[in-house]
Amino acid sequence: MTLVDRPLIQYAIDEARAAGIKEFIFVTSRGKSALEDYFDHSPELESTLRKAGKEDLLEILKATYMDSGAIAYVRQNRPMGLGHAVWCARRLIGNEPFAVLLPDDVIAAEKPCLQQMMEAYEETGGNMVAAMEVSPARASSYGVLDIGEDMGAIVKAKGMVEKPKAGEAPSNLAVIGRYILSPKVLTNLNKMKQGAGGEIQLTDAIAEETKAGQVYGYRFHGQRYDCGSKAGFLQATVAFALARPDLRDEFSGYLHDMIALQKAAQ
């Protein structure tokens, strides 16, 4: 899916690179071969752009390239949840800390979200999840932190609940798609059974580490858009288009005219 003029996966890669990450593992499934082609070199397109004198587009194209050996692909042959997807990559991750990014969570921030988390992680170690305040009515759509100690931007979790029932959420601090995790989480996933929704939940494996006081939530600075929903994707499109100097004036004028027409029709 393309947000303005870049696919969502490119936003995730750019955010990871800004945090200093250099090796990437994509957990894919049947029908996702276009993902592998996207990050490969395209000599024919390069030549066409160069001959046409479109150096600006050529530079954008080159920014999508990845070095040989920087990317590995793992297939998840059954849709058994996020925890199962991460577990599929366990042999490539090995015994190292790792980050997990969900590309349908797009975060507009002056300093990329994962970079903010990496800086906080240097203080805490353990496991860290990105967290944001949500209304009680929306808490049942997320994994929610049970807060043991609130230190401002960083909170120590004493538990986590995946998609709690209405009125049963331990807080309104929800986990969104950015994680920095220890290899212990992979060990926990080895033991996991199906959880909420009949899936293997990453939240459950992380929650095991709260027993040792090794899970932290980070209240990131920025605006998160859920591009896995139609409304969220449209909101992100508007926000990111208005943030672009080359699009802002024309696009904001169009939105103004559309709103005026809608009001007139009412």
Q: Which domains, and CATH codes, for the chain?
A: 2-228 (3.90.550.10)
Q: What is the CA radius of gyration of the chain?
A: 20
Beta-carbon contacts of 153 under 8 Å, excluding residues fewer than 6 positions away, are 120, 218, 219
Structure letter (DSSP) for residue 140: G
In this structure, what token pair is assigned to residue 147?
Answer: 């807060």
> Which of 205, 57, 63 minimizes the C-alpha distance to 129?
205
Which tokens sit at 249? 């004036």
Read off φ and ψ for residue 133, nearest 5 degrees: -75, 135
Confidence (pLDDT) at 198: 66
* Model confidence, pTM: 0.88
The pLDDT, as a whole number, for residue 11 is 93
Count of helix runs (H) and strand runs (E) in the chain: 11, 12
Confidence (pLDDT) at 265: 86
Q: Name which of 158, 159, 197, 202 is nearest 184 in CA terms.
A: 202
> To which H or E segment does residue 45 belong?
helix 43-51
Collect the ranges in the chain with pLDDT lower than 50: none
| 236 within 8 A of 109, measured Cβ to Cβ | no
Tokens standing for 111? 């300093």
What does the pLDDT read at residue 21?
94
Helix 8-18 vs helix 113-124: crossing angle, to nearest 10: 40
